[in-house]
Amino acid sequence: MNLTLRIWRQTGPEDKGRMVTYQVDDVSPDMSFLEMLDVLNERLILSGEEPVAFDHDCREGICGMCGLMINGNAHGPQRGTTACQLHMRQFKDGDTIDIEPWRARAFPVIKDLVVDRNSFDQIIAAGGYITVPTGSAPEAHSVPVAKANADAAFESAACIGCGACVAACPNGSGMLFTAAKVTQLSLLPQGQPERYTRVIGMVDAHDEAGFGGCTNAGECTVVCPKGIPLSTIGRLNRDYLAASAKRGDTPGT
């Protein structure tokens, strides 16, 4: 099939950037979306143009490195699928496809479609862990965990940190990402001692990084390739309220 691509090109953080139109012919429906971009890039290189920079690594939907806004959809039209797992059979001959980077103040563009998601790491560094220095752990079976809680914790832990939730959010909020980690750790007995300091630290880091506030619009969970549920945000809110109430009298909060 033959496609028209309109791709955001931006030479660096200081450049204003613009949409540029490219024609790509003979695209096979068996190609992945990123392989289609590879084909375009090979051609651009040979014709002396700069190839389109985009982030990708595992190309099997788990590392979370890829992330493209495809026709206004984070990761493209197929639900539960990262851009690297999206295949061209989802498109038709003659389609025009708009490709843009994630747009958020907390995710500044580095070049073309590549953005800096370091703010997510900062949210984790502010409390998204359980403090357990290596070697100090008790025997694994000393604390049983109800299967339902372990399964629910896993569901939240499946977050790949791609940033699609932020990209899709009308408020540019990173609350689904933050809530996924808060939920995972607050469901487990191991996470209880730091439960309230964690949620305060992470939400503060989230706000400081320049993400918008959550208004429960629900766009995030629709585009999430791992289907992180919106109920995680409810859990974060409850922990946050409880933690705020304790802020005065809990050491460390």
Partner 1 sequence: MELFTEGDPIADTKAPDGPIETRWERRRFEAKLVNPANRRKMTVIVVGTGLAGGAAAATLGEQGYHVKSYCYQDSPRRAHSIAAQGGINAAKNYRNDGDSVHRLFYDTVKGGDFRSRESNVHRLAEVSVNIIDQCVAQGVPFAREYGGLLDTRSFGGAQVQRTFYARGQTGQQLLLGAYQALERQIGLGNVEMNARHEMLELILVDGRARGIVVRDMVTGEITTEMADAVVLASGGYGNVFYLSTNAKGCNVTATWRAHRKGAYFANPCYTQIHPTCIPVSGDHQSKLTLMSESLRNDGRVWVPKTKGDDRSPKDIPEAERDYYLERIYPSFGNLVPRDIASRAAKNVCDEGRGVGPTKLGVYLDFADAISRLGRKAVEAKYGNLFEMYERITGEDPYEVPMRIYPAVHYTMGGLWVDYDLQSTVPGLFVIGEANFSDHGANRLGASALMQGLADGYFVLPSTIANYLAAGPLEKVDGSHPAAVEARADVEDRIQRLLAIDGDRTVDSFHRELGQIMWEHCGMERTEAGLRKAIDEIRSLRDQFWQRVKVPGTGEGLNQSLEKAGRVADFFELAELMCIDALHREESCGGHFRGEHQTPDGEAQRDDDRFAYVAAWEFTATGQPSVLHKEDLKFEYVHPTQRSYK
Partner 2 sequence: MAVSGIVLVLFLIAHMLGNLKVFAGAASFDGYAHWLRDIGKPALPGVWFLWILRAGLVVAVVAHIWAATVLALRARAARPVQYAHRKKIQGSYAARTMRWGGVIILLFVIYHLLDLTTGHLNPVGDPTRPFANVVADFAPERWYVTLFYTVAVVALGFHLRHGMFSALRSLGQQTPGGERRARAVALGFAVVICAGFLVVPFAVLTGLVS
Chain residues 21-40 in contact with partner 1, contact rule CB under 8 A: 28-32, 34-36, 38-39
Bridge partners, 18 (sequence order)? 9
User: Min. distance of Cβ 215 from partner 1 in angstroms?
Assistant: 27
**Taking CB under 8 A as the rule, does residue 20 contact partner 2?**
no
Q: Does 117 bind partner 1 (CB under 8 A)?
A: yes
Torsions phi, psi for 240 (to 5 deg) = -65, -40
186: exposed, middle or buried (C-beta count within 10 Å: 0-12, 13-18, 19+)?
A: buried
For partner 1, what does the binding mask look like between residues 69 and 108, x meaning CB under 8 A? ---------x--x---x-x-x-------------------
Q: Cα separations (Å) of 242 from 199, 202, 238? A: 10, 15, 6
Residue 170: contacted member of partner 1, partner 2, none (CB under 5 to 8 Å, by partner type)? partner 2
Among 25, 93, 144, 248, binds partner 1 (CB under 8 A): 144
> Which entry of partner 2, partner 1, none binds 222, CB below 5 to 8 A by partner kind?
partner 2
Q: What is the residue type of 246?
A: K
With residue 163 as reference, give the H or E element that holds it. none
Q: CB neighbours of 54 closer than 8 A, spacing ≥ 6?
A: 34, 37, 66, 68, 112, 113, 114
Of 127 and 174, nearer to partner 2 (C-beta) is 174
Q: For residues 173 and 184, which CB has a smaller minimum distance to partner 1 in the complex?
A: 184
Find the binding residues for partner 2 in span 210-229 (CB under 8 A): 210-213, 215-223, 229
Instruction: State the minimum distance, in angstroms, from the CB of residue 219 to partner 2.
Output: 4
Which residue from 233, 171, 170 is spatially nearest to 202, judged by alpha carbons? Answer: 233
CA distances to 68, 221, 231 from 111, rounded to whole Å, are 13, 27, 35
Among 16, 25, 133, 249, binds partner 1 (CB under 8 A): 133
Q: Give the Cα separation of 86 and 61 in Å (integer).
A: 9
Is 129 one of the binding residues for partner 1 (CB under 8 A)?
yes
Q: What are the tokens at 30?
A: 């068996």
Across the strands, what pairs with 115?
Answer: 109
Shorter beta-carbon distance to partner 1: residue 12 or 213: 12
| Residue 63 in the binding site for partner 2 (CB under 8 A) | no
> Which spans of this chain sit near partner 2 (rule: CB under 8 A)?
6, 8, 17, 19, 69, 71-73, 98, 100, 103-106, 168, 170-173, 210-213, 215-223, 229-231, 233-235, 237-238, 241
